[in-house]
Amino acid sequence: MKTGFIGLGAMGHAMAMRLLEAGHDLVVYNRTRSKADALVAHGAVVADTPAEVSRQADVVFSMLFDDATTQEASFGPDGLAQAMREGAVHVCCSTLSLDQARRLRDGHAARGQHYVSANVLGRPPAAEAGKLYAMIAGEQAVLDRVSPVMEAFSQRIFRVGDDPVQANLVKLSLNFMIYSTIEQMAEVFALNEQMGTDPALVFEIMTNSFCNAPVHRNYGQLMVDRAYDYPGAPVTLGLKDVKMFLQAGHEIGLDLPYADIVHDRLAASIEAGDGERDFVVLRERVKAGLKQG
């Protein structure tokens, strides 16, 4: 299938490479053109604008940083919506606010175009291995079309509903669960270390008993190793996600007190100069709080 990909950050690049390896013809766009070099070496074609991507592709994936970049790439003067083929589909994988998710849904619908939200769980190594978990929502017939393509980078695809916004909310919710679990482990490691128990031992017990989910094993290991400086996702990204989760609660008048705690911890990490480090650096903020106490 002729496929497009817009946004070649760590996640987008890995997902695009999997599409190439699965045999799809691929046209790509990224503001920093050099990020496409490795993909070109494997057969991809580089476009000058998002519109040029959609002019050539039957399915166009986008994986961009935030609401503003996604809106511009979708509906700006050179946006992909300006040149989508008849019957083509925009599949947005970005983590976005619910307001932006609605803008995408409604903007494509007003143009008679197909749109799917397809959020993914997993860090760049999982994307490289084709082991992401995908949550998709949209018109069921369109989901039938894009799901086989997404198998190139997904180990499992969950259908969330008919409204694309549903997938965005599930993604924000599960991201929040990751951050809150990191906060829990940070508190546990800091307290035990303060009392003389090696966090590595706590981690061994934890992951070989009841707390052995991937979120505990993967992020816990990063925290034990203090692997803060090669971020799969930085603190700034975590704060963006938690703000959007809190806003979703605010829309319906729901208090989310755990989310407030995680928000403040992430904000404190940025104030401490750790904004571009991996969000497992929360361990250091918890530890600093214990020392002050």
Please state the φ and ψ torsions of residue 59, each to the nearest 5 degrees: -130, 125
Burial grade of 45 (CB within 10 A; 0-12, 13-18, 19 or more): middle
Q: Mind telling me the catalytic residues?
A: 171
Please state the φ and ψ torsions of residue 155, each to the nearest 5 degrees: -90, -20
Q: Are 138 and 119 in contact (CB under 8 A)?
A: no
Give the Å distances, CA to CA, from 72 to 68, 165, 171: 6, 19, 22
Please tell me the distance from the alpha carbon of residue 168 to that of residue 96, in angstroms, as a whole number: 7
